């Protein structure tokens, strides 16, 4: 697995890559840890689920200069402390620099998130002006 993007991604917060196929798909796993909990019921903030989906999309494209520019997402079910989330991302469309990536996040056999993330592959790092 040759990861070319987001090289400093912190695995406990964004996930651990399980499989990456350049320009095609990626699978990333994230365990919902205590620091993600937002209430006494053990509910995990949706931002962590979205972060996992975003990271999986970036890895599916797997270019050093990929950025996300838009997302159409649905949070389908709650995620709880201790849940193991598996994100599966697949590049559905390639048009010049644009990539549309479909992402589904499951906990066991239950879908908790689905979305379409729009990415662009830039010529240089987004912060290099």
Question: Which two three-digit tokens encode residue 123?
Answer: 């010529």
* DSSP string covering 14-82: H-EEEEEETTTEEEEEEE--GGGB-STT-BBPHHHHHHHHHHHHHHHH--TTEEEEEEEEEE-S--BTT
Q: Radius of gyration of the chain from Cα atoms?
A: 14
Q: What domains does the chain contain, in order, with CATH numbers?
A: 11-121 (3.10.129.10)
Tell me the pLDDT tens digit for each residue of 12-48: 999 999 999 999 999 999 999 999 999 999 999 999 9
* Cβ atoms of 83 and 107 closer than 8 Å: yes
* Gap between the Cα atoms of 13 and 101, Å rounded: 21
Question: Half-sphere exposure of 124 toward its Cβ, with a 13 Å CA cutoff?
Answer: 3
- For residue 59, report the phi and psi dihedrals to the nearest 5 degrees: -70, -30
Position 129 pLDDT exceeds 80: no
Tell me the pLDDT tens digit for each residue of 90-121: 999 999 999 999 999 999 999 999 999 999 99
* Gap between the Cα atoms of 34 and 28, Å rounded: 19
């Amino acid at each position: 697995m040759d990861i070319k993007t987001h090289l400093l991604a912190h695995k406990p917060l964004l996930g651990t890559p399980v499989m990456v196929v350049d320009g095609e798909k990626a699978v990333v796993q994230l365990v919902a840890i205590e620091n993600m909990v937002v209430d006494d019921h053990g509910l995990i903030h949706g931002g962590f689920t979205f972060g996992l989906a975003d990271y999986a999309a970036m890895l599916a494209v797997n270019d050093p200069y990929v950025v996300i520019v838009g997302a159409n997402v649905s949070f389908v079910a709650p995620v709880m402390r201790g849940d193991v989330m598996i994100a599966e991302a697949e590049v559905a469309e390639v048009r010049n620099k644009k990539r549309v990536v479909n992402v589904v996040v499951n906990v066991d056999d239950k879908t908790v998130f689905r979305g379409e993330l729009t990415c662009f592959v830039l010529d240089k790092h987004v912060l290099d002006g």
